[in-house]
């Protein structure tokens, strides 16, 4: 007899793609090797970091203290690991992991993940792009600077009491055609300096292409500042945890851009396309659009049998162009 209590419905959505990319570059294993384990811990540091990445890329981010509530809605064990319960991912556990990451060295952790990613996906290191940005932080700390002095009273300015004088000028404007022509000739030209003098190593076309690729780095920061990503403002107890969370945000961006890189490369190499928001066939979709395509995918469990609900043929088609580790999270389980 059917009993509604035996039916469990958990969200998967696009998080299987995120979890698959995390698995493919070994983030959980790297974090566990670097940070070690605690006696009788129910969830490892690597799994906690994976959970934070899933939350950051869920497009419905919640503060750290609401992590258990977030993971009650999704297939926690399926995405993170057998035996991982939502209540294990509380703010105390997350805070301890952030502290351990900072103590180990955030550069060390991020470099280990990055180098492993480069090796697995054969990413060229012939060039790199640098950019910087800032994030809003709320908090009051022992070493923080005093607040700005507020002006409560204002001394009247005698000069303000004097009447202003105005002058009216009449004039005509003519074009200086010679100057305009010179500006038009030089418009759109700028200098790109380089220290590679051999054109065989770096051609003009390649140099211009690399220069334009800077936009991808800048778009990454705009992605991090999206209100749907992780948090539009940061609330943590210590500057060290804020720095550790910034590293987690970097890992989120790494996972996001890597997934986007892989699906675009696969589509172009195989000469296939996917439809964009307007129904137009394209071979360079954004990962945000791909994430939206996977809305309302659920994992249904009934009498120890599990199946996916709302996993459409279009979604299965998209999964063909993503790594095997991503497809594993959407395979039917009986």
Distance CA 23, CA 19 (A): 6
The answer to whether the beta carbons of residues 68 and 87 sit under 8 Å apart is: yes
Distance CA 104, CA 251 (A): 16
Distance of alpha carbon 282 from its chain centroid, rounded?
Answer: 23
Can you give the pLDDT at residue 145?
54
Can you give the pLDDT at residue 124?
86
Distance of alpha carbon 32 from its chain centroid, rounded?
Answer: 22
Can you give the pLDDT at residue 197?
79
Main-chain phi, psi angles of 233, to 5 degrees: -150, 160
Bridge partners of residue 333, in order along the sequence = 306
Distance CA 85, CA 202 (A): 52
- Sequence spans of domains, the chain: 4-123+213-329
Per-residue exposure over 268-306, b if at least 16 CB sit within 10 Å of its own CB, e if not: eeeeeebeeeeeeeebebbbbebbebbeebbbebeeeee
Q: Find where tokens 């054109």 sit.
A: 199
pTM recorded for the entire structure: 0.79
Contacts 24+ apart (CB under 8 A), 302-305: 302/6, 302/7, 302/8, 303/6, 305/333, 305/334
Can you give the pLDDT at residue 152?
66
- The pLDDT profile of the chain, 334 residues, written as one tens digit per residue, is 566 667 888 999 999 999 999 999 999 999 999 999 888 899 999 999 999 999 989 877 555 666 788 888 899 999 999 999 999 998 889 999 999 999 999 999 999 999 999 999 999 887 777 777 776 665 665 665 565 656 666 666 665 566 677 888 888 888 998 888 888 777 666 777 778 878 888 888 888 888 887 777 777 777 776 766 655 445 667 889 889 988 998 999 999 999 999 999 999 999 999 999 999 999 999 999 999 999 999 999 887 788 899 999 999 999 999 999 999 999 865 4
Distance of alpha carbon 275 from its chain centroid, rounded?
Answer: 23
Can you give the pLDDT at residue 160?
58
Main-chain phi, psi angles of 8, to 5 degrees: -125, 130
Can you give the pLDDT at residue 25?
98
Bridge partners of residue 9, in order along the sequence = 300
Element (H, E) at 179: helix 177-186
Which residue, 246, 328, 243, 226, is CA-closest to 287? 226
Main-chain phi, psi angles of 13, to 5 degrees: 50, -130
Distance CA 157, CA 274 (A): 66
């Amino acid at each position: 007899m059917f009993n509604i209590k035996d039916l469990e419905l958990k969200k998967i959505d696009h998080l299987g793609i995120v979890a698959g990319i995390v698995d493919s570059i070994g983030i959980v294993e790297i974090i566990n090797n670097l940070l070690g384990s605690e006696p009788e811990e129910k969830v490892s540091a690597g799994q906690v970091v994976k959970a934070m990445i899933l939350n950051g890329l869920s497009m419905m981010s919640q503060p750290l203290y609401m992590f258990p509530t977030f993971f009650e809605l999704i297939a926690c064990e399926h995405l993170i690991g057998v035996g991982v319960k939502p209540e294990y991912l509380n703010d105390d556990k997350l805070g301890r992991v952030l502290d351990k990451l900072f103590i180990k060295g955030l550069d060390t952790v991020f470099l280990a993940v990055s180098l492993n990613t480069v090796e697995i996906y054969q990413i060229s290191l012939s060039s790199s792009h640098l950019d910087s940005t800032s994030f809003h932080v709320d908090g009051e700390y022992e070493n923080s600077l005093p607040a700005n002095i507020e002006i409560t009273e204002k001394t009247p300015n005698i000069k303000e009491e004097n009447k202003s004088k105005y002058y009216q000028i009449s004039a005509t404007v003519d074009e200086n055609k010679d100057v305009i022509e010179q500006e038009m000739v030089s418009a759109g030209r700028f200098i790109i300096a380089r220290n590679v003098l051999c054109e065989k190593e770096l051609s003009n076309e390649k140099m211009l292409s690399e220069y334009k690729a800077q936009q991808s780095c800048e778009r990454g920061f705009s992605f991090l500042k999206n209100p749907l990503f992780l948090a539009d403002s940061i609330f943590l107890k210590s500057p060290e945890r804020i720095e550790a969370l910034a590293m987690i945000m970097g890992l989120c961006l790494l996972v996001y851009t890597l997934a986007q890189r892989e699906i675009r490369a696969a589509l172009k190499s195989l000469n296939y396309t996917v439809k964009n928001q307007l129904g137009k066939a394209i071979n360079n979709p954004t990962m945000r659009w791909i994430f939206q395509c996977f809305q309302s995918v659920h994992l249904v469990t009934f009498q120890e049998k599990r199946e996916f609900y709302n996993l459409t043929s279009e979604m299965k088609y998209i999964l063909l162009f993503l790594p095997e580790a991503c497809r594993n999270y959407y395979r039917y389980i009986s």
